[in-house]
């Protein structure tokens, strides 16, 4: 039994891994078997309407298991850019406390390693309020110029931020400028950290060829009947700007370029698939730094369940 300061630590499960490894399905099965509820750790699934492109679990796929931190903010809301990792940590901690209070097992599931580390570990974040005047000035600059500025202020953050996500780049500059130094409390993947929970880390993996095939199959399925294209066109019609869609990355970035006739359908699909594969590699690079993760092949569900059962007993 793990304790901290003489206090028993509550048990939680974390399920992570690269995209297209079936994390959500496993989380539901574990929740059903061990009376759990699921907290989504995905930076895009917090937004309403970002469903097909983000791979958001459907009501049917939930099979009655309660999920948290899905569909909590509108992407066209001007306040949407304030949903930061700091806010995710607050909302996630609240969800964990609620799940535990009802005698259920919290299961954190997702592929956004930055969010998972922020929630699980005792990380502190800079309390920097939005600077409206600074944001208005930075908004007028190109992402290339903004990246150069961030590189001077915070070289470490500049290396791991999405170089096309203007909103996140501006927020990073805002924090660095307000503090006057490079904050060292960012949840880097490999640093030694403590947690106020007793955590079991489960990673789902597949060999490169298998994962690439799964990514391809999933992309074709999402595009069938133009489902994903209609979703993204609908978001724009509701007021989500092309710039905002571009900032959401991957599917939203490339389909929005296609809808603006900046890419042919064939080129959009080819480039998007390659970018998703590249993204999966970056995810694994992040996760491999955490030596506490117990990795399972995505088809070894029974081994995974036995491992969790042993942890809970």
pLDDT tens for the chain, 313 residues long, are 566 666 789 999 999 999 999 999 999 999 999 999 999 999 999 999 999 999 999 999 999 999 999 999 999 876 655 688 888 999 999 999 999 999 999 999 999 998 999 999 876 666 788 888 999 999 999 999 999 999 999 887 787 787 888 888 898 899 889 887 555 544 555 555 678 899 999 999 999 999 999 999 999 999 999 999 999 999 999 999 998 999 899 999 999 999 999 999 999 999 999 999 999 999 998 899 899 999 999 999 999 999 999 999 9
pLDDT value of residue 164: 81
pLDDT value of residue 171: 86
pLDDT value of residue 185: 46
pLDDT value of residue 84: 82
DSSP percent split of the chain into helix, strand, coil, nearest 5 = 55, 15, 35
User: In whole angstroms, what separates CA 267 from the centre of its chain?
Assistant: 26
- Is residue 220 a contact partner of residue 35, using CB atoms and an 8 Å limit? no
- pTM of structure: 0.87
Q: Calculate the alpha carbon distances from 211 to 24, 184, 203, 207, 280 in Å.
A: 16, 34, 14, 6, 9
User: How deeply is 217 buried, as exposed, middle or buried, from its count of CB atoms within 10 A (0-12, 13-18, 19+)?
Assistant: exposed
Q: Calculate the alpha carbon distances from 280 to 106, 255, 273 in Å.
A: 25, 19, 11
CB neighbour list of residue 207: distance below 8 Å, 6 or more residues apart = none
pLDDT value of residue 187: 52
3-class state of residue 107 by DSSP: strand
pLDDT value of residue 191: 53
Backbone angles phi, psi at 52, to 5 degrees: -65, -45
pLDDT value of residue 144: 94
CB neighbour list of residue 177: distance below 8 Å, 6 or more residues apart = 131, 134, 153
Residue 224, CB-side half-sphere exposure with 13 Å CA sphere = 7
Angle, helix 113-120 to helix 85-101, in steps of 10 degrees: 60
- Is residue 218 a contact partner of residue 21, using CB atoms and an 8 Å limit? no
- Cα separation, 128 vs 95, in Å, equals 24
């Amino acid at each position: 039994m793990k304790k901290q300061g003489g206090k028993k630590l509550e048990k939680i499960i974390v399920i992570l891994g690269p995209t297209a490894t079936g994390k959500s399905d496993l989380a539901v099965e574990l929740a059903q078997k061990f009376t759990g509820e699921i907290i989504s750790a995905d930076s895009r699934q917090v937004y309403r309407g970002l469903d097909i492109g983000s791979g958001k679990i459907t009501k049917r796929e939930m099979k009655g298991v309660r999920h948290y931190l899905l569909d909590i903010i509108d992407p066209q809301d001007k306040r949407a850019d304030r949903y930061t990792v700091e806010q995710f940590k607050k909302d996630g901690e609240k969800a964990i406390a609620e799940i535990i209070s009802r005698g259920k097992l919290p299961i954190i599931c997702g592929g956004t390693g930055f969010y998972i580390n922020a929630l699980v570990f005792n990380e502190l974040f800079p309390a920097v309020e939005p600077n409206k005047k600074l944001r208005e000035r930075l908004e007028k600059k190109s992402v290339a110029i903004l990246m150069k500025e961030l590189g001077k202020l915070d070289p470490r953050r500049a290396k791991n931020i999405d170089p096309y996500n203007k909103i996140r780049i501006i927020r990073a500059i805002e924090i660095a400028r307000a503090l006057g130094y490079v904050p060292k409390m960012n949840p880097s993947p490999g640093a030694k950290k403590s947690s106020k929970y007793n955590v079991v880390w489960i990673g789902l993996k597949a060999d490169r060829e298998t994962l690439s095939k799964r990514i391809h199959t999933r992309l074709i399925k999402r595009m069938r009947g133009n489902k994903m294209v209609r979703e993204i066109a609908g978001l724009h019609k509701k007021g989500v700007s092309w710039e905002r869609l571009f900032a959401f990355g991957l599917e939203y970035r490339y389909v929005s370029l296609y809808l603006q006739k900046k890419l042919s359908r064939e080129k959009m699909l080819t480039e998007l698939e390659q970018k998703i594969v590249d993204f999966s590699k970056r995810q694994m690079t992040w996760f491999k730094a955490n030596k506490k993760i117990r990795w399972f092949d995505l088809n070894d569900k029974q081994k995974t369940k036995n491992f969790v059962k042993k942890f809970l007993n």
